[in-house]
Structure 1
Amino acid sequence: MKKKTIAIDMDGVLADIEHQLIQHYNKANGTNLSKESIQGLEEEEAFVDRAVVRSVLNADNFFRSLPVMPDAVESVRELQENFEIFIVSAATEFPVSLAEKVAWLGEHFPFIKWENIILCGSKRIINTDYMIDDHCKNLDYCMGKPIMFTAFHNINKTHHLRVNNWKEVVAVLNETL
């Protein structure tokens, strides 16, 4: 029997981009944003200086040094037993991120085959049974079942099934077997 497929986003789902972006943004702007202070804000509201954001996201080693989300490695490995996993990241907007994301995945998720890594611009063409992402702009076009991973910018969104951490992801998807 063919395994069901899952598309998993990187930034904000596998990799903790919030913490690092806040640190870099505060350093560049002399601000004191925190995870708590940006809860419920859209990205553009939380990080008003978009030029600084673009500069940070285009900086060497930003994506390569992101911390892994708690329980992500073990959870993806467990899900891989019953699902075909694809890592899908909208990476082409920040070209420096392409090689860094591949290297990051190789270090933290070496069990994901290279052909299951999709670095793209738009996720509208992704056709998997499930998509785990933190952005509604990607989940709204999901051809399968969208699963929203909680992030500061989606905390007030309610139109997709929400998971707050990787243990919840595993529980939700194991229920589908």
Structure 2
Amino acid sequence: MRIAVDMDEVLADTLIKQLEWLNTECGHSLTLADVVGKDLYDFIPEKHGNQLLELLRQGAFFADLPVMKDSQEVLRRLAEDHEVFIATAAMEFPGSFGPKFRWLAQHFPFIEPSHIVFCGNKSILHADALIDDTPRNLAGFQGRGILFSSPHNVNVTGYARVSSWREVEELFRA
């Protein structure tokens, strides 16, 4: 089976780092519970405008993201039995290419560089399954879309859903 896996909010915890930025730069004391079902950008005061977007565009933000719990172990096992690709959106933030590639090489060295796809619209992917936290990426995908739970997508329905990498493992074991 060919499995495509998103990076941000699936392998890498971008949300926790964005929350740290919001709390430090905007004077908030937000927790994950505070942002469930909400858009992070709603919490950015007008005076901070596009600072977070600019930080993401520069790319360095992606260099030291925390790794999602159990993702390395489970993905390594999946890669033993399946063809695994990392498919990460990078067109919106072109400065992220290098940092994302280096992050993946550091934390997922068992994924060959030839199996890392930087893309915009994920409907072009030819895979049996796509694990992603963003519903719009699953909407045009022709294979099996699997929604990886994140606070921003708690109200989304219509997709198989996993809330952890252990659930991913169980899903592909069946």
Where does residue 10 of structure 1 map in the other structure?
Answer: 7
1:25 CA displacement: 2.1
Q: Aligned pair in 2 of structure 1 residues 39, 48: CA closer, same or farther (>3 Å)?
A: farther
TM-score by length of 2: 0.93
The answer on whether the counterparts of 2:57 and 2:92 sit within 8 Å (CA) in structure 1 is no
Where does residue 28 of structure 1 map in the other structure?
Answer: 25
Query: What is the CA–CA distance in structure 1 between the aligned matches of 2:45 and 2:152, rounded to whole Å?
Result: 14
Q: Report the AA paired with residue 75 of structure 2.
A: V
> Alpha carbon RMSD of aligned pairs, Å?
1.5
Where does residue 61 of structure 1 map in the other structure?
Answer: 60
1:17 CA displacement: 0.6
Match of 1:69, SS?
coil
The answer on whether the counterparts of 1:38 and 1:152 sit within 8 Å (CA) in structure 2 is yes
1:120 CA displacement: 1.1
Where does residue 111 of structure 1 map in the other structure?
Answer: 110
Query: What is the CA–CA distance in structure 2 between the aligned matches of 1:12 and 1:164, rounded to whole Å?
Result: 11
Which structure is higher in helix share? 2
Query: What is the CA–CA distance in structure 1 between the aligned matches of 2:12 and 2:96, rounded to whole Å?
Result: 13
Q: Displaced runs of 4+ in structure 1, greater than 3 A?
A: 42-50
Structure 2 unaligned residues grouped into runs of 5+ = none
Query: What is the CA–CA distance in structure 2 between the aligned matches of 1:48 and 1:144, rounded to whole Å?
Result: 39
Match of 1:75, SS?
helix
Query: What is the CA–CA distance in structure 2 between the aligned matches of 1:115 and 1:83, rounded to whole Å?
Result: 15
Q: Give the fraction of aligned pairs with identical amino acids, expressed as a percent.
A: 38
Whether 1:94 and 2:101 are equivalent positions in the alignment is no
Deviations 1:121-142 (A, max 9, x none): 2112112100000000001111
* Mean Cα deviation higher: 52-61 or 95-104: 52-61
Q: Report the AA paired with residue 8 of structure 2.
A: D
Q: Report the AA paired with residue 166 of structure 1.
A: W
Deviations 1:60-91 (A, max 9, x none): 53101000000000000010111100000001
Query: What is the CA–CA distance in structure 2 between the aligned matches of 1:38 and 1:63, rounded to whole Å?
Result: 21
1:47 CA displacement: 5.0
Q: What is the aligned residue count?
A: 172
